[in-house]
A and B are shown apart, each in its own frame.
Chain A
Amino acid sequence: MINESAVFWSRALTELTLTFHIIYATIGVGVPLMIMLAQWTGYKKNDEHYILMARRWARGFVITVAVGVVTGTAIGLQLSLLWPNFMQLAGQTIALPLFMETFAFFFEAIFLGIYLYTWDRFDSQKKHMLLLIPVAVGASMSAVFITMVNAFMNAPQGFDIVDGQLVNIQPFLAMFNPAMPTKVAHVVVTAYMTSAFVLAAIAGYRMLRGSEHIYHKKSLFLLMKIGLVASIASAIIGDFSGKYLAEYQPEKLAAAEWHFETTDKASLILLGVLDGEEVKYAIKVPYALSILARNNPTAEVIGLDQFAEEDRPPLYIHYLFNIMVFIGMFMVLVSLVYVVGKPRGWLFIHSRWFRWIIVAGAPLSIIAIEAGWWLAEVGRQPWILYGIMRTAEGATTSDHVDLMMLLFTGVYAVLGIGSTVVLVRMFKKNPIEQEIEDRHTEKGGDII
């Protein structure tokens, strides 16, 4: 029994929740590392500015964490509420990393609470800084475990189905599935990348607004260095993801690349429009798809012709792929120019237009994250569990999913607006100049 309307609205609501949650989740995974690196730098260089950086980021971070936690709880329960048939199967096979994730999350929550409320409480600064290790590790491990579950949906293994019964279940084999390494690495590294560029955008924005404080320059340079490393790593891992897809989910790659016929020496199609199966106005990079798929310009790449119509993902994912890749490349370039240019004294990196580009890095990186997740999820269609369960079979049969969609749309709007207002107000009321001055009077002048 399939309830068509429930399937449609379940997909829509899951998409909505994930789209909203992933913004806060990405920041939640990446920012603890940024805080840690800033505090570490401050500790090493004995530079109060970096310590303040960590402290201010931590203050803003709590707001995003709160929204991340509650929307994470929402998606966690919605998995069972909207996809009860799928979760019944998933519970038997991939519950282990889900369970581990709660421990990672627990661990992070405890130490974040301690970290936030023990500024200057311990005698040694180092002790307080060390609290960030479990926070950052817990945050990243949460992403690792939850992405393992998502990877399993793309490459299920670790069980057999005999006469409709699940047998021979191996929980660890299910965790370490072929999609896992590239997916987990890509998710974690892009979270670092996005967080670095989001924080960098704030520094850039403050500078555009006329604050010439050295604090922003230090912050921007540190973040651009981290962003550069993370964005290059994202690109390299992205390349490995292409190779994974070519091997295990060729139709996902073929749909993303509009590769209809199985050929060797396949070219990579960028942009363009579709007319039936004919690609128009596209940029074609010869051999590039073969290289992406097999690391060999003459290798054969499987096309959509090998798959029945009902097993093909929607073709619009091509644009999602393009958006993700273009933004990723652009951000590598921006951070590279900044990191190379700064010590060499290139003047244009301090110009207004370049700072606007840095500011644009925040929304762009987030758009890239969204495009990447839509590509991953829509590209897996029509399957919820690749090759085993179709999305429609996994969905709930209950009515009222459409009403729930309305309800959650309202909630996410309230949370999105609320968190933005609170964050803006928090930092407007207490700009860095003000805070440094306050601390100056408080401590009697041991910081500049």
Chain B
Amino acid sequence: MTLEVLGISVLWIFLFGYVMIASIDFGAGFFNAYSLLIGKNHIITNVIKRYLSPVWEVTNVFLVFFFVGMVGFFPQTAFYYGTILLVPVSISLVLLAIRGSYYAFEAYGARGHIGYSLTYGVTGLLLPASLSVVFAIAGGGYVDIVDGQPVLNYWTLYTSTFAWSIVVLSIAAVLYISAVFLTWYANKATDVEATNLMRKYALIWAAPLIISALGIIYEMKSINPESYQHMLNLWWMFAISAVLFIITVILLWMRKNYGLALGLLIAQFAVAFFAYGIAQYPYLLYPYLTIYDSFTNTQMAISLVIVFVLGLCLLLPSLYLLLKLFLFNKNYVTGKEDHHA
């Protein structure tokens, strides 16, 4: 494995981590706000709060880790993506800033404040939409090089069905992932009402998810024939992902083994996410930038890898402790204990 592939694999894993936990986070915020509006908040708010509160800050770090690592391993992405993403990422940043702080304002300052809850609920749904546009841009077709400078073609982007399909997929995925996770979590908290409600949401969002995913693969054919061909070669990975999806839905339908359902869901997204990533190889920005011509110098790459390994030695035990105390601790999950400062 070359250093380039190692670097991008590590970053892709972290991005996957962010996609999963941020989806749970965004979706939970939305369900919380939605339940407030339809007056069902007494059912799910507690479950959502118990999970979100201790981990919200950690979610954000995954994102920071990803883009800092990107600039470190592939400095040229700072030039290309930095130049073209000024507007889209600034919008994401604004949403992220509002969401993160209003979450904290509500959770720690003014519990139950409806305005605050709605603010972070709605921004949580806009965020995946605005962040996922970057995937569409990376796929190619929306960037021109003018006088040696990359320029984003906003009009083509905003009128592209491909970009909009990705937006729809991201929103459906956020709600589906989050609902499945919360079904499991509520079940663990032995909260029957919340489990049933979240299970219902999960089943509702399963259909839009798979339809938009299939639509994207179909549209790839005309947008980026090269990676479409790669995707066809990787058909077996997408097939595995589809099978995992079907089993998850069946388990949810039959109200059986939510833990396994959650595991299969994570596997389903992991396989699809990596299949998509491999199909883009070697491009970081099609067709201008590959992982090879944007890679940093060897000395920096080696130092980053060493720091990364040392950092993981510090991080993994800490993350384990966090999960052990809050996610896998029966007393905490069921709400028998509250030790908030």
Contacts and interface: CB of A to CB of B under 8 A. Distances in A.
Interface of A: 1, 55, 58-59, 62-63, 65-67, 69-74, 76-78, 80-85, 87-93, 95-96, 98-103, 105-107, 109-121, 134, 166, 169-172, 396-398, 400-401, 403-404, 407-408, 411, 414-415, 418-419, 422-423, 425-426
A83 B53 CA distance: 35
Contacts of A76: 64, 67-68
Interface residues of B, number: 74
B279 interface: no
Nearest to A103: B311
Contact of A426 (B90, B109, B315): B109
A119 B57 contact: no
Across chains A and B, which 9 residue pairs bring their CB atoms closest together, nearest first?
A: A91-B75, A84-B82, A66-B104, A95-B72, A422-B109, A87-B78, A80-B82, A103-B311, A113-B54
Nearest to A1: B147
Contacts of A70: 60, 96-97, 100-101
B93 A80 contact: no
Given A105-B64, A117-B326, A166-B297, A91 B72 contact: yes
Interface string B42-86: 000000000001111110110111011101111110111111111
A96 B93 contact: no
Contacts of A69: 57, 60, 100
Contacts of B296: 91-92, 95
A98 B325 contact: no
A84 B79 contact: yes
B162 interface: no
Contact of B75 (A87, A398, A423): A87
B306 to A, nearest CB: 10
B54 A116 contact: yes
A99 B68 contact: yes
Interface string B182-220: 000000000000000000000000000000000000000
B307 interface: yes
Residue of B65, B76, B303 with most chain A CB atoms under a 10 A cut-off: B303
A95 B75 contact: yes
A65 B57 CA distance: 9
Residue in B64, B65, B86, B299 with the greatest tally of chain A CB atoms within 10 Å: B86
Contacts of B56: 113
Given A87-B71, A119-B340, A404-B86, A99 B97 contact: no
B109 A119 contact: no
Interface stretch (B26-34, B228-236, B268-276, B316-324): B316-324
B72 A98 contact: yes
A415 to B, nearest CB: 5
15 contacts: A66-B100, A73-B100, A80-B82, A88-B78, A91-B74, A92-B296, A96-B72, A99-B69, A102-B69, A106-B311, A114-B321, A396-B83, A408-B94, A422-B105, A426-B110
B303 A77 contact: no
A414 B73 CA distance: 35
A70 B85 CA distance: 18
B156 interface: no
B71 A102 contact: no
A70 B103 CA distance: 11
B105 A418 contact: yes
A14 B98 CA distance: 19
B307 A99 contact: yes
Interface in B282-341: 296-297, 299-300, 303-304, 307-308, 311, 314-315, 318-319, 321-322, 325-326, 332, 337, 339-341
> Do most interface residues of chain A lie in helix, strand or loop, or is the interface mixed?
helix
Interface string B137-179: 0000000000111011000000000000000000000000000
Contact of B303 (A55, A114, A171): A171
Interface in B244-287: none
B54 A81 contact: no
B304 A87 contact: no
Contacts of B304: 95-96, 99
Nearest to B53: A117
A436 to B, nearest CB: 16
A66 B101 contact: yes
A182 to B, nearest CB: 24
A107 B97 contact: no
A63 B103 CA distance: 10
A110 B319 contact: yes
B238 interface: no
Contacts of A96: 72, 300, 303-304, 307
B339 A119 contact: yes
A431 to B, nearest CB: 16
Given A87-B79, A113-B55, A407 B90 contact: yes
A44 B83 CA distance: 55
Contacts of A99: 68-69, 72, 304, 307-308
B101 A419 contact: yes
Contact of B339 (A82, A105, A117, A418): A117
Given A80-B71, A81-B85, A74 B97 contact: yes
B108 interface: yes
Contact of B57 (A103, A109, A411, A419): A109
